[in-house]
Structure 1
Amino acid sequence: MAPRFIANLVPRRERNSDSSGVFQALLTVKPVQYAHFWVGWLAWTCDALDFFTVSLTVPLLAKQFGVNVTSITTAITLTLLFRSLGAIIFGILSDRFGRKWPLVLNLLFCCVFSLSSGFVQTYVQFLCVRSLFGIAMGGIWGLAASSALENLPVKLRGLASGILQQGYAVGYLLAAVINLTVVPNSRYTWRTLFWFGSGVTLFAAIIRACLPESEIFLRAKALEKEKGTTTTEKTKVFFHETKEMLKTHWKLCVYAVLLMSGFNFLSHGSQDLYPTYLETTKGFSSHDATIATIIGNCGAIVGGGVAGYMSQYFGRRLTIVIMLLLVGAFIPLWILPNSFGPLSAGAFFIQFGVQGAWGVIPIQLAELSPPAFRATFPGVAYQLGNMVSAASSQIEATGGNNLKTTIYVGGQSKIVDDYATVQGIFIGTIAAYILLVTIFGPENHSSHFEKHKTAFEEGGGRDDAIMEGESVHEEDEKASEV
């Protein structure tokens, strides 16, 4: 027993993992499957677009409401805190009723609160709207990931996971581009960003409403209809199976929250105050800070795709470990230089590693999840991790307020907050923590969760409850036969 445990601590290439046939498998995917994937990606992009609107406009918001930077980061903290509630509400709706309409409803709520954020007049109003937005935002990731991944062949899920997760970076990139080009020339300044995000989110909701329900839920609902199961009976079954799942998998739930707490500290610690760090500690203009942010997000997009593809071959845990080691290696380039070129290169490679590791998370959590709860389990774990890490920006802002450094601007020395040292220590510590949690954690590579019963079917809470006419031993090899 002990040798087996020790052997499991070393992440390795999974024996059954195979990246061959990925490009052939792409040819077998139906248009509606592609559509489900890309609408999930778009939903997640919308989530990030609005969230980072606050991060990019912290100085403008502080000036608008007459408060300091630390006070504005309270809005970020409140958004993160309330996301767990949204993950529970919309995750339960999705696993009970299907992927389509819960996601549409979720996106519409995001649209309304994003629009409202652009109309607030006081600091208190801003905090209230951002708190409500956190509830809406909390449901997006679990619903988007389950919708996007469960309809694809197993061989594509590693690559798809990496691309899906980088909707987050694309959203940040879009916000940065709008902030760079439109906001300075708009009479409404920072409000324009929120209104733009609202429009994109409404578009995503309309697209999802035009697509059919996930095939898994269509089959499950058809089977239950043949049996004559009523809506009330299905709801009773759902809550019973949820209770059974929690009794069986509570340890896995704890592990997932520990893992996602580290990952959320890593992403928010490296991104939320990054523009503020460049402007305050390095003396960059808002324009140059935004350009550096865009370069960093290009690294994130590339890293997510590369790592997702790697994970199909090397396994999920080993890929995460490789990316975290890359993060550690590039921290000096991220914080030590003072000129634009090296700092931008540091941003690119740090985000390549951070979001590369993140690119594995959607499929890692989907494969670890109790199969019938692929919206609720990953979504709640993700957002509870967000709640734990909610104070990331405030921790860094407080650290910067208490740790000073001297910079030279226009030949004059100036004492400023030392966000560089604070972020270097913070990210290094968090990367080491995630490394340990990942190494000691489980992996369920290439799980056929799409063959499992849904949560409203009898026995759906059991890991071995397979949908009628399916077999867990049947390989998804239609792609390789092309």
Structure 2
Amino acid sequence: MAPYFIRNLIPRREKRVGTTPLVKVLRSLTWIQWAQYFSGWFAWTCDAIDFFAVSLSVSNLQTQFHKDTKSITTAITLTLLFRSLGAVLFGVISDRYGRKWPLVGNLVLVACLQLGGSFVQTFPQFLALRSLFGIGMGGIWGLAASTSLENLPVEARGIASGFLQQGYAFGYLIAAVINLYLVPSNSHGWRSLFWMASGLSFLAAFVRAILPESEFFVKAKLAEKAAGGPRKNKTKIFLRETKVMLQSHWKLCIYAVLLMTGFNFLSHGSQDLYPKYLTEGKLLSSHTATVATIIGNCGAISGGIFAGWLSQYIGRRLTIIIHVLWIGAFIPLWILPSKFGPLAAGAFFIQFGVQGAWGVIPIQLAEMSPPAFRATFPGVAYQLGNMISSASAQIEATGGENLRTFVTNNKGEREEVPDYAKVQGILIGCVAAFVVLITIIGPENHGSHFEKHKTAFEEGGGADEVAQDPSTMSEKGNPERSSSTGSTGEVDNDLPEKV
């Protein structure tokens, strides 16, 4: 254990030989592959629009329901708490029945709940709708990531992961633009933002519905047919293979939840209360705060795409660590200034680091996951981390109420305000240190050909067996998950089972 830990203190550069150039790989993709990738990205983008509709509407919701900031952020906490339930439900359905229709149904459910949330009249009704909404939201990330990545060549998955994850930042950006221009210009106020979010989710469901099933599941169905037709006991097989997977990978499951707890604190701690931090802690106008949010999300999108590309060459963990250290370096610029220009610059650089590190997560979790459970495992790990970090906005709101400071307002007068800057700086600094540590000691399976393994409803899926591919079998007949040298060269030999 000691040599393993020491060996991972400095994540080594991946050695990649004989690879196909990225541009050539991208040119070789079919329109179906592009369309399926886009459908997953669009679904994740809509998830972000739906979620941040509340963050951007905190002040309007306070006026609507006559509640303080801490009470309104309860809606954010409840949404995050219930997302893990949705991840389990929709992840299991997807790994058992396929990627297409579970994602379509998931998006339709989210769209309906978002629409319902826009018509509530009381605060308890709003909290109830956002709790149910969390269940719907919980399934989208795992299904969207598996839909997008499993149909792409290995060489394209790094940059594809970065762009996919930035659907989250892009969704926040779209929500901020809607909030900036549409909400103030009509009599329905914050409800119009919810209506737009609901409509986009319905559109994402339609896009996925007109596309074919994932090639991974199509091949599994064809193999099943060639072997004598569908089996009647597939559900029993699925449950048995799930048990085998949990027995083999329980340490990996715990590690993945800890990793995603850190990442979700990093994300939600720097985003959920950010508009409120600018308006109450820095006394900026709502319009100016929204513009700063848009600038921050531009940094997030560029950071995520860059990190995804970089991770294909220097490895997943090293890329994450570099971007988290970047966050630490820019915390002072993020919290110390009082003018719009420096604050917007701080938002850009902080989100470049936050979403840069996040840009690696979809492919890191997909490669780390037991191959047959690529929808369930990443989705549940992600949402359990969300659940643990669900109180981040309330923690910051409570901290701001109890930790006060004085700033100079537009009239030149000293005014007492919540010290959200110090609260967020301390929280993000501690979380960044935790993420660096948990990333260093974790596994990496860079370049894994997870698409070659059996599905969760096939015997051997829980044991990570390769599907009809003798060339990847070891002498004992077991699949060599980490020996995918055909397209990526040498990969990390630190298997997840060593966690």
TM-score, L = length of structure 1: 0.97
- CA deviation string 1:208-244 (max 9, x = no partner): 0000000010010111123335453111111110000
**What amino acid is the match of 1:445?**
H
* Partner residue, 1:399: 399
Q: Give the structure 2 partner of residue 70 of structure 1.
A: 70
Q: Which residue of 1 aligns with 2:58?
A: 58
Partner of 2:136: 136
Instruction: Give the Cα separation in 2 of the matches to 1:476 and 1:59.
Output: 55
Give, in whole Å, the separation in 2 of the partners of 1:211 and 1:124: 39
Helix, strand or coil for the counterpart of 1:232?
A: coil
Paired amino acid for 1:395: I
Matched residue, 1:264: 264
Amino acid aligned to 1:253: C
Task: Tell me how far apart the structure 2 counterparts of residues 452 and 404 of structure 1 sit (CA, whole Å).
Answer: 55
1:353-408 deviation line (CA, Å, top 9, x unaligned): 00000000000000000000000000000000000000000000000000001112
Aligned-residue identity in percent = 65
Alignment partner, residue 251 of structure 2? 251
Greater alpha carbon shift after TM alignment, 215-224 vs 123-132: 215-224
Give the match's secondary structure for 1:414.
strand
**SS of structure 2 residue aligned to 1:429:** helix
Quick one: structure 1 residues 17 and 184, their matched pair in 2 at CA, closer, same or farther if it must change by over 3 Å? farther
The aligned residue for residue 453 of structure 1 is 454
Q: Is the 8 A contact 2:5 2:441 kept in 1?
A: no
C-alpha contact (below 8 Å) 1:166/1:304 kept by paired residues: yes
Q: 2:426 aligns to what? A: 425
In structure 2, give the amino acid aligned to 1:322: I
Matches of 1:99 and 1:59, distance apart in 2 = 38
Over 3 Å counting, the alpha-carbon distance change for 1:247 and 1:4 in structure 2 is closer
Q: Provide the C-alpha distance between the structure 2 equivalents of 1:15 and 1:206, rounded to a whole number of angstroms.
A: 42
Q: How many Å separate the matches in 1 of 2:178 and 2:57? A: 11
Whole-Å separation in 1 of the counterparts to 2:52 and 2:242: 34
Q: CA deviation at 1:16?
A: 3.4
Which residue of structure 2 lines up, in the alignment, with residue 224 of structure 1? 224
Q: Residue by residue, what CA displacement relative to the aligned partner does 1:310-364 show, whole Å, maximum 9, x if unpaired?
A: 0000100000000001000000000000100000000000000000000000000
Query: Would you say 1:370 and 2:367 are equivalent positions?
Result: no
Shift of residue 4, structure 1, vs aligned partner? 4.4
Residue in 2 that maps onto 1:443: 444
Aligned residue identity for 1:359:
G
Q: Which runs of 5+ in 2 are unaligned?
A: 473-482, 489-499
Residues 257-301 of structure 1, C-alpha deviations (whole Å, 9 max, x = no match): 000000000000000000000000100000000000000000000
2:100 and 2:380 mapped to 1: Cα distance? 19
| Cα contact 2:20–2:487 (8 A) shared by 1 | no
Contact 1:109 1:136 in 2 (8 A): yes
- Cα RMSD, aligned residues only: 1.4
Correspondence 1:297 to 2:297: yes
* Aligned match of 1:14: 14
Following the alignment from structure 2 to structure 1, what is the Cα–Cα distance between the partners of residues 73 and 316?
A: 33
Q: How far apart in 2 are the matches of 1:320 and 1:474? A: 23
Contact 2:448/2:484 (<8 A) preserved = no
1:358/1:470 CA distance change after superposition, 3 Å: farther
* Aligned match of 2:413: 412
Q: Give the partner amino acid of 1:270.
A: S
- Give the secondary-structure state (helix, strand or coil) at the position aligned to 2:360: helix
Provide the residue aligned with 1:186 in structure 2: 186
Q: Deviations over 1:423-473 (max 9, x none)?
A: 00000000000000000111000000010011111101112x111247446
Which residue is equivalent to 2:313?
313
Partners in 2 of 1:150 and 1:373 — Cα distance?
Answer: 12
Checking the alignment, whether the CA contact within 8 Å between 2:447 and 2:484 is kept in structure 1 is no
Aligned length: 477
Structure-1 separation of matches of 2:335 and 2:20: 39
On the 8 A contact 2:452/2:469 being kept in 1, the answer is no
Alpha-carbon distance between aligned partners in 1 of 2:403 and 2:18, rounded to the nearest angstrom:
49
Contact residue 40 and residue 145 of structure 2 kept, 8 A: yes
Runs of 5+ in structure 1 lacking a partner? none
What is the distance in 2 between the residues matched to 1:232 and 1:389? 41
Q: In 1, distance between residues paired with 2:2 and 2:340?
A: 51
Question: What SS does structure 2 have at the residue aligned with 1:461?
Answer: helix
Letter in 2 for 1:23: V
Contact 2:306 2:356 in 1 (8 A): yes
Q: Which residue of 1 aligns with 2:155?
A: 155
Per the TM alignment, residue 475 of structure 1 is displaced from its structure 2 partner at its CA by 5.5
Q: Distance in 1 between matches of 2:470 and 2:198?
A: 41
Counterpart code for 2:412: G
After the TM superposition, which of the residue ranges 120-129 and 230-239 deviates more from structure 2? 230-239
State the match for 2:340 in structure 1: 340
1:117-175 deviation digits (Å, cap 9, x = unpaired): 11010000000000000000000000000000000000000000000000000000000
1:194 and 1:240 map into 2 onto residues whose CA distance is: 42
Distance 1:63 1:18, change over 3 A: farther
**In structure 1, how many angstroms separate the alpha carbons of the residues matched to 2:19 and 2:37?**
20
Instruction: Find the residue that maps to 1:407 and give its secondary structure.
Output: strand
**What is the alpha-carbon distance in structure 1 between the residues aligned to residue 389 and residue 224 of structure 2?**
41
1:196: how far off?
0.2
Q: Distance in 1 between matches of 2:304 and 2:422?
A: 26
Alignment-mate amino acid for residue 350 of structure 1: I
